[in-house]
Amino acid sequence: MTVNATVLYPKDAAFDLQYYFSNHMTLAVERWSLHGLKDWRVVQFTSSDAPFVVGAMFTWDSMNGLTEACKAEDSKAIFEDVPNFSDQEPIILYQMVWTYQFPKLLIPRTPLNELLLCRANNSIGSPDRNCTWPKKVLDE
């Protein structure tokens, strides 16, 4: 289980997405990674009836980590930065998150899949293999 803080900016808010990515998210990572921030995601809502323009999800391993991050003295700068990219205060929600990871799918060993796998391996540092179609496939 992980814990998320979801930060939502209202649809009618003026919002500078360029500043948000270039400055604000960098600041959040610098400060909150010291307190256990695992990752973040930003979504821009595109539906005309969505009540929000942008949302961000920040992930921690525990509620204690999230609480410590938000209360830390060095986190004040994150909250004080909001007027630099939005004219409205965000709505902040906290969630406990349970995740299921699907098992890896088995890929059938066909000539095409073997060729693709060989080429993928070569592109990530194993260029010693000859990645060509097997002769028997070419003859068919």
Give the domain ranges of the chain: 3-96
Per the DSSP assignment, residues forming a β-bridge with 39 are 59
- From the list 12, 96, 84, the residue with the least C-alpha distance to 54 is 12
Angle, CA 86 vertex, CA 96 and CA 74 arms, to 5°: 60
CATH 3.30.70.100 fits 3-96, yes or no: yes
pLDDT in tens, the chain (140 residues): 999 999 999 999 999 999 999 999 999 999 999 999 999 999 999 999 999 999 999 999 999 999 999 999 999 999 999 999 999 999 999 999 998 776 766 767 777 777 777 777 666 555 555 666 555 544 55
**Residue 65: phi, psi to the nearest 5?**
-60, -45
Rounded to two decimals, the pTM is 0.71
